[in-house]
């Protein structure tokens, strides 16, 4: 397995691969890899013949320095997991490579960045859009795979790919969950024992709304009430938001579910280290054709 530490080195490798007719798949990560990330590797492998995983904790997408400092860093284990999964190359850049001295260029998709995570974490998506653009330019992939758990991020990256004319297929990969329904996340390891036990309430809230839609409920406020009521059953859960948005544009819905919509949740739980852990999850809700 190759390890590249600079953009120039990875670009040179990508150029050679493309000249030889290879298709490149990219899986951008911040490390602390779990089976959800490895499912992205599998999706990239199914579509390409050379898979690159990037491991970089991007400082520009954190709105709180404490969250950046607490983010788990497990590079040795991550490299072993990549090699075991058959990854061809890992990109491990430094801050000075992706953000050279005096760096002042940013990528931003304004409207799709405003609600949900964008409202709760100002500047987050500017950091995401900028670093992923840099990773696209470094790896020169034909395909890039991202998890559907980060629904708004996936929508944002599809938007900038279209807007900037990247010749890249952006693939969304279904969320990988534990048996209890909890979405896999690198942040889960920071949960305290009781918070860890209560955290599956997010998936139960999504299940409640989905079952209601299947039974014929289409009122937006009724569906949100169901989700919020379920979240309230977990005493340690402190909701940040629970919103229904148009699945395609993330624009607000009217009074009824008249098109596919994403129910997006963000909830704080106590961390084992005394800070909060913020978990997100989502479900696309769609009425059955009559």
| Residue 118 burial by Cβ neighbours in a 10 Å radius (0-12, 13-18, 19+) | buried
- Nearest 5 degrees, angle CA 179-CA 185-CA 189? 90
Rounded to whole angstroms, how far apart are CA atoms 207 and 217? Answer: 13
Given the DSSP bridges, would you call strands 261-270 and 276-285 parallel, antiparallel or unpaired?
antiparallel
Say if CB 31 and CB 57 are below 8 A apart. yes
Which residue reads 């190359």 in tokens?
Answer: 89
- Active-site residue numbers? 37
Distance CA 101, CA 81 (A): 33
Q: What is the rounded CA–CA span in Å between residue 183 and residue 188?
A: 9
Tokens found for residue 71: 């983010």
């Amino acid at each position: 397995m190759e390890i590249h530490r600079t953009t120039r080195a990875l670009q040179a490798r990508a150029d050679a691969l493309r000249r030889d007719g290879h298709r490149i798949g990219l899986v951008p990560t911040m490390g602390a890899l779990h089976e959800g990330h490895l499912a992205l590797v599998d999706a990239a492998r199914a579509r390409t013949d050379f898979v690159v995983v990037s491991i970089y904790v991007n400082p520009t997408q954190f709105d709180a320095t404490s969250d950046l400092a607490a983010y788990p860093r497990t590079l040795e284990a991550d490299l072993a997991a990549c090699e075991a999964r058959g990854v061809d190359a890992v990109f491990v850049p430094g801050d000075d490579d992706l953000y050279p001295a005096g760096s002042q260029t940013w990528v931003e998709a304004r409207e799709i960045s405003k609600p949900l995570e964008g409202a709760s974490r100002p500047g987050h998506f500017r950091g995401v859009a900028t670093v992923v653009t840099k990773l696209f330019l470094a790896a020169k992939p034909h395909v890039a795979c991202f998890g559907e758990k980060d629904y708004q991020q996936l929508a944002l990256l599809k938007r900038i790919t279209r807007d900037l004319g990247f010749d890249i297929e952006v693939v969304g990969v279904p969320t990988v969950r534990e048996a209890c329904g909890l979405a896999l996340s690198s942040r889960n390891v920071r949960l305290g024992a009781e918070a860890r036990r209560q955290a599956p309430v997010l998936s139960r809230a999504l299940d409640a709304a989905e079952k209601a839609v299947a039974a014929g409920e289409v009122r937006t406020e009724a569906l949100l009430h169901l989700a919020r009521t379920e979240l309230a059953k977990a005493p340690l859960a402190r909701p940040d938001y629970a919103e229904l948005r148009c699945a395609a544009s993330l624009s607000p819905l009217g009074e009824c579910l008249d098109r596919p919509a994403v129910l997006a949740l963000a909830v704080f739980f106590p961390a084992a280290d005394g800070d909060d852990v913020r978990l997100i999850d989502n479900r696309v809700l769609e009425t059955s054709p009559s």
